[in-house]
Amino acid sequence: MAGPTVKVGQVGDPERFTPLWAAYYRFGPPRWEPWLRRSGAGRKLVIGIPLVWLCLFFLAPFFIDFKISFSETRLAMPPYAPLLEWGPDHALSFHLHLANYRFLLSDALYVSSYLYSLKVALISTLLCLLLGYPMAYGIARATPTARNLMLMLVILPFWTSFLLRVYAWMGLLRNNGIINSLLLWLGVIDQPVQMMQTDFAVYVGIVYSYLPFMILPLYTNLEKHDPALLEAAADLGARPMRAFLRVTLPLSFPGIAAGSLLVFIPVIGEYVIPSLLGRPDQLMIGRVLSDEFFSNRDWPVASAVAIAMLALLVVPIVLLQRVQARREEA
């Protein structure tokens, strides 16, 4: 019995796509490759795509924010005065106000918020480094099967909402939470320990949330180390600790720097964790920025806070780049 016949051009027929493939190989990217190599346009294209992205979504908002920071607050929409304005005699006038930046330096709230944010970011970065380095080192030295399993466990928290994980810590740290209930049941304490609304809760939440950002760059660096270097150090009489301090630790400095920046930079502007777990009388700069924008509707001052915070973040990045450049030259 004869089977069903398939006509040329039906779905599933390879000959149907032959003209498309021919046009693709004649006029498409395979045809462009020699020209891209000769003209160097391929390199410009690869660099140009992220450059356009950064200009659209970083530089443009930055300049808008920078412009608003020199404006004056007004009760209108938008809630700031324009820098360039036409006068009644059709003359263009330029209004530049530095009062917003002077206000940041004169008000103790903003200074204390900046200093507190720096303190929290530095301590959290150090804690993440102390916890993340041994974990990354253990993952890098594990067998391939165990390594994949441990990496999956490191990445697993990202499968859950960040906000839900912070709320889970609220359930663990509150006075009638799981930790206090367990300690009371074991007889370790007589009354609940105040852990919520403290700096301790902020550090716990930040370290838990940002620890993977420290582990992954360190693992990427440590996994590339040649074991023969440690064997050579052992042959020269170095004990394991001395070999680690003289060989492994210096080679892992790029991973330490990358992980520290990935933790330090977002922690300075952290908003959710200090708001839910921290003290109400001590605000981080992210909370101050949000209150200025949405509660006080003082956009010029809020923009000045954002620009000052950005300048604060640029300093460690520039210093790190200089240190790395000197190491490469050496």
Tokens of 304: 């000045």
Residue 94 DSSP class: E
Cβ(222)–Cβ(136) below 8 Å: yes
User: Helix crossing, 29-39 with 41-54: angle to 10°?
Assistant: 100
Quick one: pLDDT at residue 40?
Answer: 63
DSSP alpha helix (H) spans, 249-298 = 249-251, 253-268, 272-277, 285-290
Quick one: pLDDT at residue 93?
Answer: 73
Asked if residue 316 belongs to a domain, the reply is no
CATH of the domain at 287: 1.10.3720.10
pLDDT band at 1 (very low <50, low <70, confident <90, very high): very low
Asked if residue 116 belongs to a domain, the reply is yes
Residue 80 DSSP class: B
Quote the distance between the C-alpha of residue 249 and its chain's center: 24
Q: Is residue 25 scored above 80 in pLDDT?
A: no
Cβ(324)–Cβ(316) below 8 Å: no
DSSP alpha helix (H) spans, the chain = 18-27, 29-39, 41-54, 60-69, 99-106, 108-141, 144-155, 162-173, 178-186, 199-222, 227-235, 240-243, 249-251, 253-268, 272-277, 285-290, 299-329
pLDDT tens sequence across 173-193: 999 989 999 999 998 888 999
pLDDT tens sequence across 199-224: 999 999 999 999 999 999 999 999 99
Asked if residue 288 belongs to a domain, the reply is yes
Cβ(291)–Cβ(274) below 8 Å: no
Quick one: pLDDT at residue 9?
Answer: 44
**What is d(CA 285, CA 104) in angstroms, rounded to the nearest whole number?**
12
pLDDT tens sequence across 259-275: 998 999 899 989 999 99
Asked if residue 98 belongs to a domain, the reply is no
> Total structural domains in the chain?
1
Question: Number of C-alpha atoms within 13 angstroms, CB side, residue 8?
Answer: 3
Quick one: pLDDT at residue 6?
Answer: 43
Mean per-residue pLDDT for 97-109? 87
Q: How many residues does the chain have?
A: 330
Quick one: pLDDT at residue 308?
Answer: 87
Quick one: pLDDT at residue 127?
Answer: 97
Mean per-residue pLDDT for 317-322? 77
Please provide the average confidence, as pLDDT, over all residues in the chain: 85
**What is d(CA 262, CA 218) in angstroms, rounded to the nearest whole number?**
11
Cα angle 67, 68, 74; round to 5? 145
Q: Is the omega angle on the peptide bond into residue 78 within 30 degrees of 0, that is, cis?
A: yes
Cβ(104)–Cβ(305) below 8 Å: yes
Quote the distance between the C-alpha of residue 125 and its chain's center: 12
Quick one: pLDDT at residue 213?
Answer: 95
pLDDT tens sequence across 54-97: 888 888 988 999 999 998 888 777 888 887 777 677 777 777 88
Dihedral sign for Cα 109, 112, 114, 116, please.
negative
Residue scoring higher pLDDT (12 or 307): 307
Asked if residue 101 belongs to a domain, the reply is no
Cβ(176)–Cβ(145) below 8 Å: no
Mean per-residue pLDDT for 236-254? 90
Asked if residue 144 belongs to a domain, the reply is yes
Quick one: pLDDT at residue 135?
Answer: 96
What is the share, in percent, of the chain residues with pLDDT greater than 90?
A: 40
Quick one: pLDDT at residue 38?
Answer: 67
pLDDT band at 120 (very low <50, low <70, confident <90, very high): very high
Residue scoring higher pLDDT (111 or 312): 111
Asked if residue 323 belongs to a domain, the reply is no
Model pTM score: 0.80
Asked if residue 193 belongs to a domain, the reply is yes
Domain carrying residue 224: 107-297
Quick one: pLDDT at residue 41?
Answer: 62
User: By C-alpha distance, which of 213, 218, 203 is closest to 121?
Assistant: 203
Quote the distance between the C-alpha of residue 7 and its chain's center: 56
User: By C-alpha distance, which of 244, 207, 219, 209 is closest to 126?
Assistant: 207
Range name among 152-161, 281-290, 320-329 with the lowest pLDDT average: 320-329
